[in-house]
Structure 1
């Protein structure tokens, strides 16, 4: 049997290797890092990076899509699993997500159109996996699924960015592995408590708001 990799397979593997190297490089160095740095990390020529992705912006777009797909798939699997084992497995593998977290942080710090687009895709992904949880009977339905997804995305990303900013050294470096592990230890219990048991003991405030914001009341 011939064990040589077919050209198409080699091409696909090279593309994935460049993408993964770019995620690490951009997460560690920010988006000022150039194509040449990514190429060196991937062990290829700068020309090959441009061949596969067209430009640095094209490479970023592919990285965005890949990071988002991994995170949303993981969230969906945790929410729709038949028991808590999937969540515990995810926690045990938290180190594998560090490059993705670093990449997301750098994306939102950089701002711009790609960051805005990434956030909107995150909101859509959150809405999708919450609806999957609703269909499985593990998540309560919402009066406004899109608004709930946007709030949860803002809350999660905002708290993560704040936590990591507080762990940033004077030289601008962050130990993402340690920081994310510490954040998980500090927030997992209260987050699960709030999401599972709620905060208020009655619906007085919700009832007042929904009544005040209803079309009939505004009229």
Structure 2
């Protein structure tokens, strides 16, 4: 959609969000509004019109990426396949991942939302892996430990070798999923963190 003028209001708004995700993910949150608008084939004024400014565009990008994460996560976690598969366009998923990794470093709101989402997942993994029902407080502490370790390793892996292809992305998602499950399994039997 880059370089094309989008006629519908909904299409223009979505074009700005998708372009913002790619631009901010690739170059950071210091990217100017004109650059984002130009890549989307629109004017900087359209960002102000739809989002009230850069802060609103970033918030819309955050919301869009986190909605994608929430939509994809159940399929990734429940997959019985050795390699996780994402539904939809690989290039969009690569852009979302790039944005998410940057946002986790630079946006406390995105980090908090991701931690909350993944802590719920980790609690379920720990409950499943535990031989005895864990205490709720202990379960939350162990789940937080799984999330911290998993996110930290995923962010380091991404920084060292970001996925560039659909196959790279599948391998990255699979290794992150498997690591989280392994950590949950280990912490289910260890002493409290």
Give TM-score scaled by structure 2 length: 0.72
Residue of 76, 95, 101 corresponding to 1:99: 95
For the pair 1:33 / 2:31, whether they are aligned, the reply is: yes
Match of 1:162 in 2: 156
- Where structure 1 has 5 or more consecutive residues not aligned to the other structure, the ranges are 1-8, 168-174, 211-219
Q: How does 1:17-32 map to 2 (within 5 A)?
A: 17-32=15-30
Which consecutive unaligned segments of at least 5 residues does structure 2 have? 1-6
Provide the residue aligned with 1:124 in structure 2: 116
CA RMSD of aligned residues (A): 3.8
The whole-number CA distance in structure 1 between the counterparts of 2:88 and 2:11 is: 28
In structure 2, do the counterparts of structure 1 residues 193 and 92 end up closer, same or farther at CA, with 3 Å as the change threshold? farther
Aligned counterpart for 1:177 among listed residues 164, 172, 177: 164
1:75 positional shift: 1.0
> What is the aligned residue count?
181
Distance 1:121 1:193, change over 3 A: closer
1:84 paired to 2:80: yes
Change (3 A) 1:96 1:149: farther
Structure 1 residue 90: Cα displacement:
2.5
Check if 1:191 corresponds to 2:179: yes
Q: How far 1:93 moved relative to its partner?
A: 6.7
Give me the whole-angstrom Cα distance separating, in 1, the residues matched to 2:67 and 2:141. 21
* TM, length-normalised to structure 1: 0.65
d(CA) in 1 for partners of 2:114 and 2:173?
Answer: 24
Larger gyration radius, structure 1 or structure 2: 1
Structure 1 residue 129, shift from structure 2 partner: 4.7
Instruction: Give the CA deviation at 1:95.
Output: 5.0
Task: Provide, for residues 6-29 of structure 1, a one-character-per-residue CA deviation record: whole Å limited to 9, x for no partner.
Answer: xxx922221111101100011111
User: Is the CA contact 1:78–1:87 (under 8 Å) kept in the aligned structure 2?
Assistant: no
The reply on whether 1:153 has 2:147 as its aligned counterpart is yes
